[in-house]
Amino acid sequence: MTEPELLPKAVRKVAEDAQARGVEIAIVKTDKSARSAQEAAEAVGADVGQIVKTLVFQGKQSGKALIVMMAGDGRVDEKAVAQLIGEKIRRPDADFVRETTGFAIGGVSPFGSNHPLRYLMDESLFRFETVWAAAGTPHHVFPIAPDVLCNATGAEKAAVS
């Protein structure tokens, strides 16, 4: 792991939030961008399914943000998510994502959001012993066991792919 004082602010925020939740994460800086699931998988030598896509959605009626953690080889079933949360959802714009989470698209992490959020974690991530999630930038990721990630974020395990 890179020395904490040398890490970008967004990455430090991720590490500090994880630690506050009782989880020590080993953040890895990638030479290449890990903006997409495929890029991240190549950067860390993992299966694309092991990459956690941390996706922000917004309730159409309430306007509330929601995080869906999805396997890199999966797609979110928006109808399944809507059924779980009780309203239809939409993909918000980049400004909403940054304001809500503190991160730009491509670096959204399950840890360190600006606001308390509801989390859903797709069941497909649990087929792996280790998954990789973004750590605040497109060049920083961390490995974690799916059950640890689910428990630490308070995510609801759900079939949303």
Distance between CA atoms of residues 20 and 77, nearest Å: 32
Could you list the pLDDT tens digit for every one of the 161 residues in the chain? 445 557 899 999 999 999 999 999 999 999 888 888 999 999 999 999 999 999 999 999 999 999 999 999 999 999 999 999 999 999 999 999 999 999 999 899 999 999 999 999 999 999 999 999 999 999 999 999 999 999 999 999 999 99
Q: What pTM, to 2 d.p., does this model score? A: 0.93
Residue spans of the domains in the chain: they are: 4-158
Using alpha carbons only, give the angle 7, 9, 14 rounded to the nearest 5 degrees: 85
Looking at domain 4-158, does it have CATH number 3.90.960.10? yes
Q: Which of 22, 39, 38, 62 is nearest to 144 (CA)?
A: 22
What is the pLDDT at residue 51? 98
Residue whose pair of structure tokens reads 């989470």 in the numeric block: 101
What is the pLDDT at residue 4? 52
What is the pLDDT at residue 124? 98
What is the pLDDT at residue 57? 98
Distance between CA atoms of residues 36 and 117, nearest Å: 23
